[in-house]
Amino acid sequence: MTRADLVIILGGNEFGSAIAAALVKTRIPVAMVIHPQETPLRRSICFSEAVLIGKKEIQDIQAVLINENLLSQFAPASLSEQWRRSIEFCINNHSLPVFLDNEFPDYLEILKPQIIIKTHPVFFIDCPLESAALSIGLHPWHMINRHCHLSVESRSNYQLGEVFFQTPEVLPEFDTHFFKYPFEEIHSPLEGTFISDKNIGEKIQHHEAIGTIQRIHIRSPYDGQIWGLIHSGRLVKAKQPLALIYQGILSNAFTLFDYRHKAVAGSVLKETLHFFRK
């Protein structure tokens, strides 16, 4: 693994996971950095789940958490060398190495990535623009020449997946009829620990409880299928989203990346391949 090889993805959310899957399938070496506070609701399609359960497989791509057990296999090398070898070991086995940014804070210096892909707003997890030869961001979260060298439109509009090399001054108004948000959200009415009564993929009926906070039942105002759900045992804030309810036909589509994720991942893959083939 050399500087000319490695791509680092900041964030294990839906976009980050779709991008990682596209790159790994193309045999591009990728490592994923997770923030400890990441709580994506659509966790069935998020590699960040590996942080909690050790491994996460999505569409035949397996993410592996770099932990003490894996690091110890490369002792007595220095700790930084253990990290480097553990990540290289995963990549050579065609899996996706995942690690928490607070457990390996020197990853940029040690791994020396050629490309960094940012999938979270900058207040969540970020790194300086000069950390890699190419930084790719998601519009509108990342500003070109400040946070990234180029950005990809990530919102549901007619420009979805378009690559910007300079920040667009004006974009057309959203066509909210054509690009309707597909989910109804259930929010927490108070702060506390959420205890779930449901799982992602299950059917939910109006007034049925998805779980409790401080022994208060949190009930669904909607009929539908649960596509997103916060982990049981998580401390949540008042008004924080707890669940995503899809009111269309019941299916297993909750396990798949949707058109937005695929559009963004395709554009990032194209720019990554273009960069390496220069």
Q: Are 228 and 183 in contact (CB under 8 A)?
A: yes
Specify whether 269 is located in the same domain as 249.
Answer: no
Specify whether 128 is located in the same domain as 214.
Answer: no
Specify whether 90 is located in the same domain as 203.
Answer: no
Specify whether 25 is located in the same domain as 144.
Answer: yes
Beta strand 96-100 pairing with 30-34: parallel
Which residue range forms the structural domain that includes residue 216? 183-254
Tokens 């949707």 belong to: 258
Specify whether 104 is located in the same domain as 31.
Answer: yes
CATH code (residue 188):
2.40.50.100
Residue 195 lies in a domain: yes
Specify whether 17 is located in the same domain as 140.
Answer: yes
**Mean pLDDT lowest for which of 12-21, 37-46, 162-171, 217-226?**
162-171
Specify whether 17 is located in the same domain as 145.
Answer: yes
Rounded to whole angstroms, the Cα distance separating 99 from 119 reads: 16
- 181 or 135: which leads in pLDDT: 135
Q: Are 245 and 224 in contact (CB under 8 A)?
A: yes
Task: Determine the pLDDT at residue 177.
Answer: 74
Residue 194 lies in a domain: yes
Per residue in 23-78, pLDDT (tens digit) is 999 999 999 999 988 889 999 999 999 999 999 999 999 999 999 999 999 999 99
Specify whether 147 is located in the same domain as 108.
Answer: yes
Task: Determine the pLDDT at residue 202.
Answer: 98
Residue 176 lies in a domain: no
Rounded to whole angstroms, the Cα distance separating 93 from 49 reads: 20
Q: pTM here? A: 0.94
Longest dimension (CA), the chain: 60
Q: What is the mean pLDDT of residues 190-200?
A: 97
Provide the domain count of the chain.
Answer: 2
Residue 2 lies in a domain: no
Beta strand 61-65 pairing with 134-139: unpaired
Specify whether 242 is located in the same domain as 270.
Answer: no
Specify whether 221 is located in the same domain as 269.
Answer: no
